[in-house]
Structure 1
Amino acid sequence: MFEINDLFDTFIFRTTTLTGFLFYWLPIICILSPTYLSPFTFVDSTQEFKAYRMAQYDLYGQAYGSRQAFISSEVRLWSHTNLNRKAALIRLEKLTIERFRSLISKGINSLFVVIPPTTIPWTAEQKTDICDLETILLGESVPIPVYFLPETQQTNELYKSIESRRDSTKDSALAVLYDMVTADGYQLSVTTGKHNQRTDSVLYNINGKLVGHGIEERLPKILFVAHYDSIGLANGLAQGADSNASGVLILLKLIRLFSKLYSKQTTRAKYNLHFLFAAGGKLNYQGSKKWIDDYHDQKQQQQLPNDVDVVVCLDSLGQSNQLYMHVSKPPKDTQTVRLLTL
């Protein structure tokens, strides 16, 4: 028969060992910590962030881009020692292709990239590195979900909070347990599910023309072309300022100028001017290809010769002030040679 003193001594002995801590005190700490453990902060709410998923596409039977979408995982900073089966958080300026592949080899299950605002100045080297990173990643099949978070006050607070957590992988077991109880933990979840391939996409070309002086069917054509779509690591963030908003802007300007010139019979040139806003520019110029196929089919049906003398492609005009001319064979007439030497 146990006496009170024996029972008390047994309880003290069991609770002062490591096993006693795990089975007696740790559950009590977990239960009481949200109320009594001050000054620690505890997350008791859910926050939503707007994120953009990395592009996914198939081309000629090959898979490219991020192939997964669902995420429900603890998030840690990219520099953490143990990232196995964890989501990694990193800023865009710290992400390189070597670091990306290193994170993949460490077993991360997802990657979140914080994108700074466009008002922040970038050096020429940083711009080149980011463009190279985008080109390489778009040409690979990425086995994990990758999301991009625009930098906001909420994302900055999240990043700083995770950054302030120390890497406890080299601490003792007791320190790790203490850190698990008292430290802030963040679980990131994306419940969009699997992204299936879209089979109902339709490409729309927009075209117009200005009829020159003379009989319309007998006049040669000059074609001005600009593709109006863009692509990037995250399609929702791809603004395409120079690929190809610059070309679209110049094409609109040309339409306005030539429409004034062609508004009077006396100032019309002996050319029909055609303006084409082509779709699918980032898909091997599928919109332009469709226009060419339709044009040739129409000419064959009407038994008319091809009458397009010049095609002016307006693409990425913000890169430089140089113009490039492409010819199928060396020109023989002196007028074209003169244009090439200007």
Structure 2
Amino acid sequence: MFEEASEVFDNMFKSSFPLTFIVFIPAVLILVSPLPAEAAHEFTVYRMQQYDLQGQPYGTRNAILNTEARTVEAEVLSRRCVIMRLADFSYDKYQKALRQSAGAVVIILPKNMSAMPQDIVQQFMELEPEMLATETIIPVYFAMEDDELLSIYTQTLTSSSSQGSLSAAEVLLHTATANGFQMVTSGAQSKAISDWAITSLEVSDDMRTILLMDDSFSWQSSPFCFSWLSYGADSNGSGVSMLLELARLFSKLYTYKRTHAGFNLLFFLSGGGKFNYQGTKRWLEDNLDHTDSSLLQDNVAFVLCLDTLGNGDSLHLHVSKPPKEGSPQYYLLKELETVVSSQYPEVKFSMIHKKINLADDMLAWEHERFGIRRLPAFTLSHLPSHRLAQRSSIMDVRSVSQSSRHGAGEPPAGPHVDVKKLSRNTKVVAEALARVIYNLTEKGAPGDLQIFTEQMQVQEEHLSAVVDWLTAQPRAAQLVDKDSSVVSTLEYHLAHYLKDVKRHYVKADKRDPEFVFYDQLKQTMNAYRVKPAIFDLLLAVCIAAYLGMMYLAIQVSHFSHSK
């Protein structure tokens, strides 16, 4: 076979040399031209949140990507996929991509988040709310760093950076000869999720009640920027862990009639809190507006909301209205002060008064939902302000061991949970609540009296296990439906200690929805190694020029032979 082919080419060379160039050279060009694009890498990307809240759109509005990769160092970003590492991220660079109508933005997260410098982490946490509040047409993704993705970024960075220092001809030649990457998502365009139900859990009684609240399924006052990365360790995995531990402790006290106090404790894990506390709002409406008899009507001593309690050496009781002297909420304030000063002097305790601003689109704290309905409520947190970035950041993850990456006493980057401090704060709340419901102050009990000791003490291992479990899975409201393992596991834990666990479902009004969620928040992206489009154009020009030259050569040869 090969001998026959060689004879054909030999005869071609001998018979007609110009014809050989016309046939053979294009064949060589075709053979050495780039092969069809092949997939260089396939990886998972997490799209920025997309939802509507009270008619206002938030987050990115697009989910489709099929464009060439560039880094922000390139001069022209229009219709390009801009990839950048978190270490190099800045709001100016992000805005540059938006201003130039980039096709998409992909931010690469490092393998070890706790190894990030504190200033970079803090900067990004402060920018997340701005990114989310801005309606963005182009898709914005996060991707976890791996060796191949980092190699793609490095090659793209080299190509993008070199173009700025070259002449126009050099840029054209470099563009034509360099390899590029075509970024393509496999998912469809995002669409609204119909009939999505936000789930809450309630354990109710019918006596005078102290209501313990926890924003369990979304974790902070404004949604995380990227829902699939919303692990919420401190905000508010710590609050859920504390509530479950309090349920365990007080269920033991309330098992026996002689230790059953005159107050009942109602535990409520509310859903949709990060969407202006929709679960709490609907639950209050159902109990106050749509029923003749309710455990909330003239029956609530106070409501204590637990939010972000896994770190710090301070505790703040956030109130919308200072409690009146002699009221149950006043006694709780005093007992918190007593327990902290007598048993934990290293902790700084204070009450922070902030009036409810009904003009704001988002309420500051969950207790304000109760304050609007004239129910006495407050929020306990180690954060002095609701505006702090720790309450709404994807950096809020369970920290790794400090010994491997950090020096002695140096905390890991970003918010994290210190289980010892979470355990201490849980004991402060448990002791203060017990002193209120058993009226120990009027009975002359000393401030250093400890109720929860020995077999009744706070279990640090239990708190740690719950935080580890919670932070092992994303818990944004769009991901936690009625069949979610998060809901069923929390329901199981509550039912283990308490009776009559009920589920509450909240669906948006179809005519005027308070909230709308969208899908396609997690997708697969392919990076294809390709030649740029201009390469095909230059190749076509070269072939046309070659054929023209061959045509002229044949004409000249024919003319000379005719003479």
Which residue matches 1:326?
Answer: 319
8 Å contact 2:287–2:295 — kept in the other structure? no
Using the TM superposition, give the Cα deviation of residue 339 of structure 1 relative to its aligned residue in structure 2, in angstroms. Answer: 4.2
* Cα distance in 1 between the residues matched to 2:69 and 2:294: 64
Which residue matches 2:162?
Answer: 167
* Cα distance in 2 between the residues matched to 1:175 and 1:130: 34
Q: 1:180 to 1:337 in 2, by over 3 A?
A: same
Alignment of 1:340 with 2:333, yes or no, is yes
Question: Which letter maps to 1:190?
Answer: T
Which residue matches 2:460?
Answer: none
1:333 partner SS: coil
Q: 1:192 to 1:27 in 2, by over 3 A?
A: farther
Match of 2:285 among 293, 296, 309: 293
Alignment of 1:126 with 2:120, yes or no, is yes
Question: Which letter maps to 1:250?
Answer: M
Alignment of 1:140 with 2:134, yes or no, is yes
* Number of matched pairs: 311
Alignment of 1:205 with 2:197, yes or no, is no
Match of 1:108 among 102, 107, 114: 102
* Cα distance in 2 between the residues matched to 1:304 and 1:222: 10
1:158-177: CA deviations, max 9, x gaps?
A: 21222333533633536633
Question: Which letter maps to 1:333?
Answer: G
* Cα distance in 2 between the residues matched to 1:129 and 1:26: 55
Which residue matches 2:433?
Answer: none
TM-score, normalisation: structure 2: 0.50
Q: 1:156 to 1:336 in 2, by over 3 A?
A: closer
Match of 2:230 among 224, 235, 238: 238
Which residue matches 1:275?
Answer: 267
Using the TM superposition, give the Cα deviation of residue 247 of structure 1 relative to its aligned residue in structure 2, in angstroms. Answer: 0.8
Question: Which letter maps to 2:209?
Answer: K
1:89 partner SS: strand
Q: 1:44 to 1:122 in 2, by over 3 A?
A: closer
* Cα distance in 2 between the residues matched to 1:220 and 1:167: 72
Q: 1:325 to 1:176 in 2, by over 3 A?
A: closer
Q: 1:280 to 1:185 in 2, by over 3 A?
A: same
Using the TM superposition, give the Cα deviation of residue 264 of structure 1 relative to its aligned residue in structure 2, in angstroms. Answer: 1.7
Match of 1:99 among 86, 93, 97: 93
Question: Which letter maps to 2:185?
Answer: V
Which has the higher mean CA deviation after the structures are superposed, 136-145 or 154-163? 154-163
Question: Which letter maps to 1:117?
Answer: K
Alignment of 1:221-236 (within 5 A): 221-230=209-218, 231-236=223-228
Match of 2:173 among 177, 186, 189: 177
Using the TM superposition, give the Cα deviation of residue 307 of structure 1 relative to its aligned residue in structure 2, in angstroms. Answer: 0.6
* Cα distance in 1 between the residues matched to 2:54 and 2:327: 43
Match of 2:47 among 42, 45, 53: 53
8 Å contact 1:81–1:167 — kept in the other structure? no
Structure 1 spans left out of the alignment, 5+ residues: 1-6, 13-23, 36-41, 212-216
Alignment of 1:76 with 2:70, yes or no, is yes
* Cα distance in 2 between the residues matched to 1:52 and 1:71: 13
Q: Percent identity?
A: 29
Structure 2 spans left out of the alignment, 5+ residues: 1-15, 338-563
8 Å contact 2:109–2:142 — kept in the other structure? yes
Which residue matches 1:38?
Answer: none
Match of 2:183 among 172, 182, 188: 188
1:4-36: CA deviations, max 9, x gaps?
A: xxx999xx9xxxxxxxxxxx999965641459x
Question: Which letter maps to 2:199?
Answer: Y
TM-score, normalisation: structure 1: 0.80
* Cα distance in 1 between the residues matched to 2:198 and 2:54: 18
8 Å contact 2:50–2:59 — kept in the other structure? yes
Using the TM superposition, give the Cα deviation of residue 232 of structure 1 relative to its aligned residue in structure 2, in angstroms. Answer: 1.6
Q: 1:196 to 1:179 in 2, by over 3 A?
A: closer
* Cα distance in 2 between the residues matched to 1:137 and 1:27: 52
1:225-281: CA deviations, max 9, x gaps?
A: 111123322111111112211111111111111111112222111111110010011
Which residue matches 2:208?
Answer: 220
8 Å contact 2:302–2:329 — kept in the other structure? no
Alignment of 1:9-20 (within 5 A): none
Q: 1:106 to 1:332 in 2, by over 3 A?
A: same
Using the TM superposition, give the Cα deviation of residue 105 of structure 1 relative to its aligned residue in structure 2, in angstroms. Answer: 1.8
Q: Which has the higher contact order (CA 8 A, sep 6+)?
A: 2
1:136-161: CA deviations, max 9, x gaps?
A: 01111012111111112221222122
Q: 1:304 to 1:31 in 2, by over 3 A?
A: closer
* Cα distance in 1 between the residues matched to 2:256 and 2:307: 30
Question: Which letter maps to 1:192?
Answer: G
Which residue matches 1:254?
Answer: 246
Question: Which letter maps to 2:201?
Answer: I
1:277 partner SS: strand
* Cα distance in 1 between the residues matched to 2:141 and 2:217: 21
Q: 1:110 to 1:325 in 2, by over 3 A?
A: closer
Which has the higher mean CA deviation after the structures are superposed, 139-148 or 303-312? 303-312
1:300 partner SS: coil
1:274 partner SS: strand
Using the TM superposition, give the Cα deviation of residue 300 of structure 1 relative to its aligned residue in structure 2, in angstroms. Answer: 2.9
